[in-house]
Amino acid sequence: MADQARDRNGARLTERGRATRERILKAAADMMYVRGVAATTLDDVRTASGTSKSQLYRHYPDKDALMRDVVALQAAEVLEWNRQHLLRVKSVRGLERWRDALVERVALRGGAGGCPLGSLAAELADHDEGLRVSLARHFAEWEDLLRAGLERMRNAGRLRPDADPAALATGLMAAVQGGYLLAQTTHDAGPMRIALDMAIDQVRAYASTEKR
């Protein structure tokens, strides 16, 4: 993130300072993903990251400051993973490959954990307007990756002209988030696959009879 080059007082960070900040941030993100935001304290993060109070507060004077960077970090990781898979989507089969990779990723965790961004949204969106706006922007970027893939499919003649990439992308995103939640509660990636299969079937319903 761009602001990691300086501390909260505006002083430029040394390489060691940057490494300390990254260690704090990674520990916080990991703990909040597993425990939740409310159950993670700054003392928990300090212990997990192996930092002193002075080191922690130099970079993060309060939990709100830490949360802003946790949201940004999780968003960057989620969006980069999806970008790598969705930028190649030009057909229904491409969507299926993205689905397979996503379901496999969830299955490797036994369905546990939920969506790194969705979990944060569930805890923060109704309590912090700034973070809600930030999360909404990240979700919109994720949905835009899906929409762009669907537009490529329509432009290539693989979807009919009456297909609505924006609406179909919203349906796919809803299936992703619902799938994450069901996988988390059942500890089984199967429900996520079913949800995504149904959303992709809706895309397939608009497939051109000339190009598949």
Say if 1-61 and 67-212 have the same CATH topology.
no
Architecture of the domain defined by 67-212: Orthogonal Bundle (1.10)
Q: Where are the domains of the chain?
A: 1-61, 67-212
The percent of residues in the chain predicted with pLDDT above 90, rounded, is: 89
Residue 9 pLDDT > 60, yes or no? no
Give 72-88 pLDDT, tens digit per residue: 999 999 999 999 999 98
Distance CA 150, CA 146 (A): 6
Please give the pLDDT value at position 208: 85
Give 44-60 pLDDT, tens digit per residue: 999 999 999 999 999 99
**Mean pLDDT for the stretch of residues 85-105:** 97
Residue 147 pLDDT > 90, yes or no? yes
User: Which band of pLDDT confidence, cut at 50, 70 and 90, is reported for residue 7?
Assistant: low
User: Which comes out higher in pLDDT, residue 8 or 154?
Assistant: 154
The whole-model pTM stands at 0.89
Please give the pLDDT value at position 3: 45
Estimate the crossing angle of helix 129-155 against helix 63-86, to 10 degrees: 10
Residue 119 pLDDT > 50, yes or no? yes
Residue 1 pLDDT > 60, yes or no? no
**Mean pLDDT for the stretch of residues 141-160:** 97
Architecture of the domain defined by 1-61: Orthogonal Bundle (1.10)
